Chain A
Amino acid sequence: MTVQARRAHPYIPNSEPGTKAAMLAEIGAASMDELYADIPESLRFRGTLNIPEALPAEAQLKRTLERIMARNTSCEEATSFLGAGCYNHYVPAICDEITRRAEFLTAYAGEPYEDFGRFQALWEYESLMAELLDMDICNVPTFDWFQAASTALRMAGRYTDRPVALIAGNISPDRLAAIRNYCEPVMRLELLGWDPATGLMDLADLRAKLNGQVAAVYFENPGYLGFLETQGQAIADLTHAQGSLLVVGADPNSLGLLTPPSQYGADLVCGDIQTLGNHMHFGGGMGGFIATRDEEKLVMEYPSRLFGISTTDVPGEYGFGDVAYDRTSFAHREKGKEFVGTATALHGIAAAVYLSLMGPVGMKDLGEHILQKAQYLAQGLASLRGVKLGLNAPYYKEFVVDFNGTGRSVAEINEALLKAGIFGGKDLSGEFPALGQSALWAVTELVSREEIDRAIDVLAAFLGGK
């Protein structure tokens, strides 16, 4: 037998023919097909899959993939003003160092006796988030904000034993679609009116729609359109007066600076941890959180894993484990709370590292930095001919830019910017036709003043001056 013929695939050691033959002999099988005896011939696939030839050589594989991926332009190469739920924040080197550790990257579902570090890291994540959000409890991450909001509303539905959720009318249509798919038909969603001048919730409409059927009222702060919902306490008071729960979506990245929703009456807070030390990954960096107070009835409605700290047989030693595991679908299938499974734990560990590095000072500095940058960008844009801000409301890092007065469409404007290596804000004309030619612009600490100035200059040239 030649060396070549005996070569195994690098990922499949027992594909080495000698080993394979010996193992078949050991189990008394004459052929591989014999192992599939239970599969009827009519179900056997006897063709060849139309998949390119194998690239077992890593150097060749890497070159092939790098050539494909070279056709992408990253936000490292371009200047990006895109946000709308995913943000180009700085990821400290230590976040990458930790999440690339093979121990964390390749662990899965071990018990604390093998995976003590995984339990402690995620317990610390829950704890750090609780401090940032000023709430008692946060779960092990769920998929993303979409899922977190959906589950928070279902939790409220079970807690109150009521079927209706009232939703701020200008949340992201995509997020609304996910919430709708997850909540219906068990719950019913109704959208609340909003003031087109400011984005704020129409409290009269809220009053009119609140009744004994309403499980929860949901809004986001900052809202999808960037504005700050400044009526939080009033909304909370109206909601609580009807025995309903207030669910608020928030960007945790803003909370070193902004008031956490629990301080204006939120019962459940949800959102995304992509903005806490996770790369964008074309939207794959998302991870959802749900926080609440330490009330048994509410805690028992979580479908997610909740890790707790405990003691061991050795005094002074910490132990960790699952709190109230009996809630879950692992334990009770369709009788459990929704479902639980693999979600985004590694993003939670990244967020734990991020918050540990940033501390209260870093989070505050970051918030102030981004706020000023956003204001600087907004002023620059509003100084352009025919351009104004779309909403008359305070914002954090994102805001609506109204291009209706320019005679140009957002598509044309973004095309001009793209030619200069700039990704303009998200075109809102499809999602919010009433806003006409408007776009959602976002800024982070990674966009420099020079880049902002250059974007304004490119736009000024395209739109015919300031």
Chain B
Amino acid sequence: MGTMRPLKVRNHFHQAKWDEELIFELHKPGEVGVAVAPVEKGITEKVKGVAALPPSMVRTKAPGLPEVGQMRVLKHFLRLSQQTLGADFTVDIGQGTCTMKYSPKINDVLASSPKMARLHPLQDGRTVQGLLQVMHELDLYLREISGMDAFSMQPASGSAAILGMVSMIQAYHASRGEAETRDEIITTIFSHPSDAAAAAVKGYKVITLMQGEDGLPTVEDLKKVVGPRTAGLLITNPEDTGIFNPQIREFTRLVHEAGGLCGYDQANLNGIMAITRAREAGFDMCFFNLHKTFSTPHGCGGPAGGALGVVQHLRDFLPRPLVVKENGVYRLDSDLKHSIGKLRAFCGTAQVQLRAYTWIRALGAEGLKEAAEIAVLNNNYLLKKITRIKGASAPYAVGRRRIEQVRYSWEQLHRDTGVTTEEIAVRMADFGMHLWSSHHPFIVPQPFTIEPTESYSREELDEYVGVLEQISKEAYTEPETVKTAPHRSVCHHIHHDDFDDPRRWAITWRLYQRKHSARP
């Protein structure tokens, strides 16, 4: 008792390396992974079967799928899984903006139950009262967290929820006969790329505010662009720098004054849950990522969930249906006068919503606030430790606290040693760690973004810093070690030229066979 774990850098880590074949290379004619039963007796003789189809609709050449026995298929994908660094295996704080927190296993158990997995979305509402209750109460909890008045869980991701916000902004102005004249969306350079991209999908001209000296967009810049053509503002706060914009109320006021709506991209909610809300900041709508703040697993890139919330006068613009409760009974309500229609099939990713709901129930009101506070504590703890590492810095707002993440820079280290942030990111893999290489826009030189969340212990945070320190040291003393990484990964340095050359890109097995000779 009372002993402290010594700081450990995993110098002997090596990722699993099976030298596994491609699934097509396992093909052996006649093998099969699962058998399909013939129809029961008494059917075939009564029906026409394939003879009922016009010959042109019957496939003549079988698809070129591989034929592989069951155990070999299992082994193949198990090996591929072992060659993947899931968040459960690492200190996954290097994917800043992604909020890689712990996804509790009990939530997966519940989501796998037939009572969730085997529900059809068009079942009579009386047969899905349990799930509708979960969806409705999740809506109520998110209203509390945001101050908004209604949520749709239909968007399948943060980007889809952003599209939902833009669509509602457009539908709102259309309902007032101003869709044509209000053709501009304002966003900021440190907001998520999809804020700009989704606005463009809906035909908007995108105006991007650049950061001021403290890393934040300025009221002065906003004043220069806001006006009668403004349809709305899409903004993150804190942005990916982790700096909270204290002027946010003035931003929303100015946009409202010009007749626009304000949409809050709350991908970065985690540090401010129960601390500050969309409503008090003057927003008309917001969204949360259920797969970030609300713990649901990222699944290699989805399924995910985007919860889209609005103030009362915009409720009718939400995608249909919403879950309502009347006389103790839950039902789906599609009677929304101005609804933008559908963003996703049915009611979104219900299994994700169930997990998010369960996570909120595990934490309660106090726990949500504590999660936010500890995420911020962890972040500022790392800020102090990382800025002590040789060659690392945290641009903007020096000396100020950050919320849930920080965009750091290896600029000094790069200048001193020539080692780049991409090379450091690759070297991290040698320690069973991950440092994301995507920090768009690349305004901060040699960027890396760390978001510790509340999930990791102090010792694990120290371990991550220890690895960064060791790699910094390597960059200064033996840069080749970093530049030639990875050394302990599944594969070695990958040749990227093939990916951008249409004559050589091989997006599928058939293109690979066509364009490249088979592996010796």
Q: How far is the CB of B204 from chain A (nearest CB, A)?
A: 8
Contact A360:B67 (CB < 8 A) given known A15-B370, A353-B73? yes
Q: How far is the CB of B214 from chain A (nearest CB, A)?
A: 10
| Residues of A in contact, count (CB < 8 Å) | 210
B80: contacting residue among A42, A117, A423, CB under 8 A: A117
Give the residues in chain B near A307, CB-CB below 8 Å.
507
Q: How far is the CA of A121 from the CA of B54 in the complex (A)?
A: 36
Q: Report, nearest first, the 10 A-B pairs whose CB atoms are least far apart.
A: A283-B346, A54-B364, A357-B33, A177-B341, A319-B494, A283-B121, A346-B299, A345-B301, A117-B83, A329-B197
Contact assessment for B194 and A339 in the assembled complex, using a CB-CB cutoff below 8 Å: yes
Contact assessment for B88 and A36 in the assembled complex, using a CB-CB cutoff below 8 Å: no
Q: How far is the CA of A335 from the CA of B53 in the complex (A)?
A: 46
Give the residues in chain A near B121, CB-CB below 8 Å.
86, 280, 282-283
Q: How far is the CA of A3 from the CA of B370 in the complex (A)?
A: 19
**B248 interface contact, C-beta 8 A:** yes
Q: How far is the CA of A68 from the CA of B135 in the complex (A)?
A: 11
- 10 A-B pairs whose Cβ atoms sit less than 8 Å apart in the complex: A27-B380, A98-B77, A112-B491, A114-B85, A281-B350, A310-B498, A334-B197, A340-B159, A343-B303, A371-B50
Give the residues in chain A near B163, CB-CB below 8 Å.
182, 339
- One of A74-82, A204-212, A241-249 contacting the partner: A74-82
Beta-carbon nearest neighbor of A22 in chain B? B458
B82: contacting residue among A117, A233, A326, CB under 8 A: A117
| Residues of B in contact, count (CB < 8 Å) | 217
Give the residues in chain A near B78, CB-CB below 8 Å.
97-98, 101
B76: contacting residue among A14, A44, A330, A356, CB under 8 A: A356
Task: List CB contacts (< 8 Å) of A93-141 with chain B.
Answer: 94, 96-118, 120-124, 126-128, 130-132, 134, 136-138, 140-141
Give the residues in chain B near A335, CB-CB below 8 Å.
200
Please report the number of residue pairs spanning A and B whose Cβ atoms sit closer than 8 angstroms: 731
Most buried by B among A143, A146, A313, A450: A143
Give the residues in chain B near A22, CB-CB below 8 Å.
458
Contact assessment for A104 and B86 in the assembled complex, using a CB-CB cutoff below 8 Å: yes
Q: How far is the CA of A310 from the CA of B295 in the complex (A)?
A: 34
A143: contacting residue among B144, B160, B167, CB under 8 A: B160
Contact assessment for A342 and B158 in the assembled complex, using a CB-CB cutoff below 8 Å: yes
**A436 interface contact, C-beta 8 A:** no
Contact assessment for B350 and A100 in the assembled complex, using a CB-CB cutoff below 8 Å: no
Task: List CB contacts (< 8 Å) of A301-342 with chain B.
Answer: 305-326, 329-331, 333-336, 338-342
Give the residues in chain B near A92, CB-CB below 8 Å.
33-34
Contact assessment for B365 and A45 in the assembled complex, using a CB-CB cutoff below 8 Å: no
Q: How far is the CA of A423 from the CA of B128 in the complex (A)?
A: 12
B347: contacting residue among A109, A282, A330, CB under 8 A: A282
Q: How far is the CA of A104 from the CA of B359 in the complex (A)?
A: 20
Contact assessment for A114 and B300 in the assembled complex, using a CB-CB cutoff below 8 Å: no
Q: How far is the CA of A259 from the CA of B162 in the complex (A)?
A: 38
Give the residues in chain A near B366, CB-CB below 8 Å.
54
Q: How far is the CB of B345 from chain A (nearest CB, A)?
A: 5
Q: How far is the CA of A379 from the CA of B52 in the complex (A)?
A: 13
Give the residues in chain B near A361, CB-CB below 8 Å.
32, 62, 67
**A388 interface contact, C-beta 8 A:** no
- One of B97-105, B220-228, B256-264 contacting the partner: B97-105
Give 13 new A-B contacts, CB below 8 A, not counting A38-B400, A49-B141, A326-B500: A27-B377, A54-B361, A100-B112, A105-B108, A109-B436, A110-B436, A111-B437, A113-B490, A181-B342, A185-B203, A282-B120, A333-B196, A376-B43
Give the residues in chain A near B347, CB-CB below 8 Å.
282-284
Beta-carbon nearest neighbor of B208 in chain A? A333
Contact assessment for A174 and B345 in the assembled complex, using a CB-CB cutoff below 8 Å: yes
Contact assessment for A48 and B113 in the assembled complex, using a CB-CB cutoff below 8 Å: no
Beta-carbon nearest neighbor of B378 in chain A? A14
Contact assessment for A50 and B519 in the assembled complex, using a CB-CB cutoff below 8 Å: no
Beta-carbon nearest neighbor of B334 in chain A? A430
**B6 interface contact, C-beta 8 A:** no
**A70 interface contact, C-beta 8 A:** yes
Contact assessment for B361 and A65 in the assembled complex, using a CB-CB cutoff below 8 Å: yes
- One of A55-63, A402-410, A456-464 contacting the partner: A55-63
Q: How far is the CB of B261 from chain A (nearest CB, A)?
A: 17
Contact A114:B489 (CB < 8 A) given known A69-B115, A105-B297, A345-B301? yes
Contact assessment for A314 and B56 in the assembled complex, using a CB-CB cutoff below 8 Å: no
Contact assessment for A346 and B300 in the assembled complex, using a CB-CB cutoff below 8 Å: yes
Beta-carbon nearest neighbor of A281 in chain B? B351
Beta-carbon nearest neighbor of A128 in chain B? B65
Contact A256:B63 (CB < 8 A) given known A71-B129, A342-B301? yes
Beta-carbon nearest neighbor of B130 in chain A? A71
Contact assessment for A316 and B199 in the assembled complex, using a CB-CB cutoff below 8 Å: no
Q: How far is the CA of A224 from the CA of B49 in the complex (A)?
A: 21
Q: How far is the CB of A337 from chain B (nearest CB, A)?
A: 9
Contact assessment for B509 and A127 in the assembled complex, using a CB-CB cutoff below 8 Å: yes
Q: How far is the CA of A248 from the CA of B15 in the complex (A)?
A: 42
Q: How far is the CA of A85 from the CA of B87 in the complex (A)?
A: 33
Contact A86:B346 (CB < 8 A) given known A38-B246, A114-B85, A130-B510? yes
Contact assessment for B85 and A110 in the assembled complex, using a CB-CB cutoff below 8 Å: yes
Contact A323:B505 (CB < 8 A) given known A35-B377, A72-B115, A233-B56? yes
Q: How far is the CB of A346 from chain B (nearest CB, A)?
A: 3
Give the residues in chain B near A346, CB-CB below 8 Å.
299-303
**B66 interface contact, C-beta 8 A:** yes
